[in-house]
Structure 1
Amino acid sequence: MTKKIVSKLNRRQFLHHMGVGVSASLLASQSMPNAVANDGLLTVDSLSALTKDELPTALSGSESLFGQVAQRVECIKPTIETRLFASSNVGSRDARNQLALQRVACAGLQVQNPEIVSRQYLRFAGTDSQRASDLQNIATGAISAPKLLLGVRGGYGASRLLPMVDWATLGRLMQERGTILTGFSDVTAIQCALLAKGNMSSLAGPMLYSEFGKTTPDRISCQQFVEALTNPKLTIEVDNAELTSPKLPAVLATNDSRSTTGTIWGGNLSVVSALTGSEYLPRIDGGIVFLEDVGEQTYRIERMLYELYLAGVFKNQQAIVFGAFSGAGEDSYDKRYDVATVVRQLHKLTGLPIYSGMRFGHIAQKASFPLGTTCEIQPNNSGGYQLRFSDYPTIEASALHVEGLWA
């Protein structure tokens, strides 16, 4: 995707428009490779330091955290009003945070609260009150709703905030402004609460620290992120079920030619199942449930799916879409007991059509897409399917410069 560059800025002008701290100035005044290396990002971010929200991407070869730093590109003046929300884990490397802030500004996002990336309380990105305030201050009117609410990272902690936010008011204000909230992994809890109590959509997509702070951001994920932000008629093609299980067909249904239209909702399976029985789990009649996860053994995947099934979550749903189930591994009791077996059992239990292989989850080269909005699933003649999305807020394409995200 080629974006129009609104205005080229020199380094000093760019930093002025960014409004971020001294660390970002260091990054801009040195070469990026030297600044990153000086902070130890190329050596300190070892596998032992990775959390669940970034592990598979770090193990995916050329898309790893340890790849070569991308070349410098021209930046545009950031004009898209953006606020960060840090609902979960702390982003522990300051230079990585600052590098991510510089990149999103280069791409056109005017971040209004960059200081929150330095918060920490225990493992979290601040106390519960601090993290909840990122969203609650918008609900109370203390802060105007921005155009974009960008998650910092996943991990754990978002569920602790759910009773502390006025989701109904937040959703109403976001609808009035056309605000887009984006994230995934543990941010699923925020997205589910926003839909369940605020009737507001969100975007399943990459986050500040997790993606844009990498030594080498995944360009395809960045491109797909901007595509989802700017295209009001987003479509995604799925050819096979490889990301869910290579032993499955892409479409598992009694009538594999029937199209389905409904509100798509869900996210990370571990988080969705943890909300079972709460007021924060959406109750969508005629919905389409999307689920993905990472690093969960097969029996745990099935147990969480059974938890949803036994709670009646799949009743009145039209279909289930599975994204990536990366790092599931083999069952130590019987290797035949795999993800494909689990999915087939769920199809037998629910009778719902199941679409597998959606390119989203804890993987590289993911396709961002809106949650809580209208989705049409249309099987094709080659065994795959297409997802078409509508009725969600977008951003003017000319205000974004995708190459900035990997500058």
Structure 2
Amino acid sequence: MADRNPFAEQAPLAPGDRVWLVAPSGPAPEGTVEPAIAALEQWGLNVQVGENLRKVDARASYLAGSDDERRRDLVEAWCDPEAAAVIALRGGYGAMRLLDEIDFGRMADSALRPDGRPKLLTGSSDITALHQAWAHHVGVPTLFCPMVGNAVFGDSERVRADIKRWLFSSWSDEQIRLGKSAQTLTAGEFTGITYGGNLSLLAAGVGAPEFQPGAPDQPGILFLEDVDEDVYRLDNLLLQLKRIGWLERAGAVVLGSWESCGEDADRRALLREYFGEAGVPVVWEVELGHHPHAGSIPLGVRAKLSAPEDGTMPTVTIEPSEE
């Protein structure tokens, strides 16, 4: 898209808009669907539910129905001409299994609402696979954010307020909430397109068309996070991305949370090894991903990262529309 911030003038959603709640990955834990629907309805949204949202696959209990069922829900939701957004209930595993059989030509043709704004895809963790596919095939921004079926959404008012901000406010000059723990690892400034997500998913997609190094057109701001991985596993995943050119394509890096990823000192030493001498601005200890108060990140839009060397708080600010 020529305009890399189509939400600069008008918010993605407004009360009364129709949104779809789907489960492209893992099944809904008991007792999570109704609270998720209620929360979205409290925001004034008209919530539609995917036909297979509550299913569990007969063969693989870690999937919310078969690949065909999950894919059908996702495609039908996105291609609904009245839809304004498709909201992933939760992550887990399984989104990448859907990609090969999706007609992305149809998805791209269905990407815009009648007023010209794109529809919005939201989710995080395993939904990284869909964010990459939307960036590569559909060409519209997406929102990497905690999911409404996860405990963090119900437990943290900060999480809910931040998601609501990105859904119901325009994105021009809005700052991504990095959290009070955010620090500069390498000072500098950079402006580019935001991309990235869950490290394990990005590494798992290596070689697929949706997972080419860097942002679609130019070096961008790379966001990375993960959960439940030993430090040696993080080393292996980062090495994989380094060897295919992902890391060297980044013009700046934002390192999020690494919940249950080994000892803090070991993990920090590893991240410093990969990013401390990268020659680009790097911000770390950011509240994103699986952090209990994780912020939301617009992907596929132009942003400016500022990482001061004087100890003041780093910032990432969404830029207005390009002329």
Taking structure 2 as the reference length, what is the TM-score of the superposition?
Answer: 0.83
- In the alignment, does 2:110 pair up with 1:173? yes
- Could you list the structure 1 runs, at least 4 aligned residues long, displaced by more than 4 angstroms after superposition: 237-240
2: CA distance, partners of 1:126 / 1:170:
21
Counterpart position of 1:224: 162
Counterpart position of 2:252: 319
After superposition, where does 1:100-119 map in structure 2 within 5 Å? Answer: 100-113=36-49, 115-119=51-55
Aligned partner of residue 289 in structure 1, secondary structure: strand
> Are the counterparts in 2 of residues 135 and 170 from structure 1 also a CA contact under 8 Å?
no
Alpha-carbon RMSD: 2.4
Q: 1:78 to 1:228 in 2, by over 3 A?
A: closer
1:113 shift after superposition: 2.4
2: CA distance, partners of 1:310 / 1:387:
27
Larger mean CA deviation between 174-183 and 260-269 belongs to 174-183
Counterpart position of 2:6: none
Pick from 382, 385, 398 the counterpart of residue 311 of structure 2: 382
Q: Deviations over 1:150-177 (max 9, x none)?
A: 1011000011001121234424532444
Q: 1:238 to 1:181 in 2, by over 3 A?
A: closer
> Are the counterparts in 2 of residues 84 and 116 from structure 1 also a CA contact under 8 Å?
no
Q: Amino acid of the residue matched to residue 125 of structure 1?
A: A
Pick from 179, 188, 207 the counterpart of residue 277 of structure 1: 207
Q: 1:184 to 1:341 in 2, by over 3 A?
A: same
Aligned partner of residue 280 in structure 1, secondary structure: helix
Larger mean CA deviation between 312-321 and 374-383 belongs to 374-383
Q: 1:359 to 1:239 in 2, by over 3 A?
A: closer
Give the aligned length: 296
Q: Amino acid of the residue matched to residue 293 of structure 2?
A: Q
Counterpart position of 2:195: 265
Counterpart position of 1:371: 299
Q: Amino acid of the residue matched to residue 202 of structure 1?
A: T
2: CA distance, partners of 1:239 / 1:184:
18
> Are the counterparts in 2 of residues 291 and 323 from structure 1 also a CA contact under 8 Å?
yes
Aligned partner of residue 153 in structure 1, secondary structure: coil
Q: Deviations over 1:132-162 (max 9, x none)?
A: 11232356x5x32611111011000011001
Q: 1:376 to 1:164 in 2, by over 3 A?
A: same
Q: 1:273 to 1:346 in 2, by over 3 A?
A: same
Tell me, which stretches of 5 or more residues in structure 1 are unaligned? Answer: 1-76, 244-249, 393-407
1:130 shift after superposition: 1.1
> Are the counterparts in 2 of residues 172 and 200 from structure 1 also a CA contact under 8 Å?
no
- In the alignment, does 2:35 pair up with 1:99? yes
Pick from 159, 163, 166 the counterpart of residue 100 of structure 2: 163
Aligned partner of residue 192 in structure 1, secondary structure: helix
Counterpart position of 1:131: 70
2: CA distance, partners of 1:206 / 1:347:
25
Larger mean CA deviation between 175-184 and 273-282 belongs to 175-184
- In the alignment, does 2:288 pair up with 1:360? yes
Larger radius of gyration: 1
1: CA distance, partners of 2:44 / 2:320:
24
Q: Amino acid of the residue matched to residue 372 of structure 1?
A: G
Structure with bigger helix share is 1
> Are the counterparts in 1 of residues 185 and 276 from structure 2 also a CA contact under 8 Å?
no
Counterpart position of 1:306: 239
After superposition, where does 1:22-101 map in structure 2 within 5 Å? Answer: 79-93=16-30, 95-101=31-37
- In the alignment, does 2:206 pair up with 1:286? no
2: CA distance, partners of 1:148 / 1:359:
24
Counterpart position of 2:141: 201
Q: Amino acid of the residue matched to residue 27 of structure 2?
A: V
> Are the counterparts in 2 of residues 82 and 146 from structure 1 also a CA contact under 8 Å?
yes
1:103 shift after superposition: 2.3
Percent of aligned pairs with the same amino acid? 26
Taking structure 1 as the reference length, what is the TM-score of the superposition?
Answer: 0.67
> Are the counterparts in 2 of residues 90 and 124 from structure 1 also a CA contact under 8 Å?
yes
Q: Amino acid of the residue matched to residue 375 of structure 1?
A: A
> Are the counterparts in 2 of residues 319 and 354 from structure 1 also a CA contact under 8 Å?
yes
Pick from 228, 234, 250 the counterpart of residue 295 of structure 1: 228
Q: 1:305 to 1:89 in 2, by over 3 A?
A: same
Q: 1:166 to 1:260 in 2, by over 3 A?
A: same
2: CA distance, partners of 1:260 / 1:179:
28
Q: Amino acid of the residue matched to residue 193 of structure 1?
A: A
Tell me, which stretches of 5 or more residues in structure 2 are unaligned? Answer: 1-13
Q: 1:237 to 1:99 in 2, by over 3 A?
A: closer
1:211 shift after superposition: 4.2
2: CA distance, partners of 1:382 / 1:251:
7
